[in-house]
Structure 1
């Protein structure tokens, strides 16, 4: 059992656990990179008057990867933000129906975001959109976000179909 949430741990197939671990490592490395970059840039800017060239550009693209990794991890571990004050006071059947509707709505919104990010990635590539200083292309990062949102949408949809709805 997870001591924080009282939920069982270790669920899913071996492939699901490996994929989750890989995504968690990517997200974790991204967060650490953001922290180190921000601290180093602030210290160099303050004490040496020499900020890191392109730190904002790197922050933008690393943050896109972190978000793309974090959203499906939150959904897969059933830790998406939910306000259940009213649902908890409902009868179990009504609460289950409201939860299913919320999962379905979440799946729909995330599917739309995945589609828009995919379209935006193509447009960014077509127009050659890049970051300001380092000229890092935006297209691949839109596709990374699209994949993260798409996986999250599928996870919510599976939750509706299987009836696996958070507490």
Structure 2
């Protein structure tokens, strides 16, 4: 026979009896503890499970819920997996700022004869981007040479 004593020197209840009887009692106590912890777990989980059921107003009868779920059926097409190429595009609106500000200017004025780069293409420093008509510049050079010759002649005469 197994007895439970409460005189364990402040250590709580202790079991006494033969070894065979004690093992069976320990099993009984272990099973009782498991049952008690299971009951406590169910008691704690009951409010949580009840909260997952939805509103009583929206719930309705189980048949109504079943009919409603059938009305939400979506047609699905199933295909085998295969590799395909695709392009993902996103349209956005924004403002673009250049990382450098560049001043483009010609050393001489004149009519533009040819544009050497297209709009939007990158250019390097010192790369020509257009060609100015040289006829006007050649005429100005000839005028300057004529004035230089005339000034040379005048200077030689006055010497």
The normalised TM-score by structure 1 is 0.24
Q: Of the two structures, which has the highest relative contact order with CA contacts closer than 8 Å and spacing of 6 or more?
A: 1
Query: Whose strand proportion is higher, 1 or 2?
Result: 2
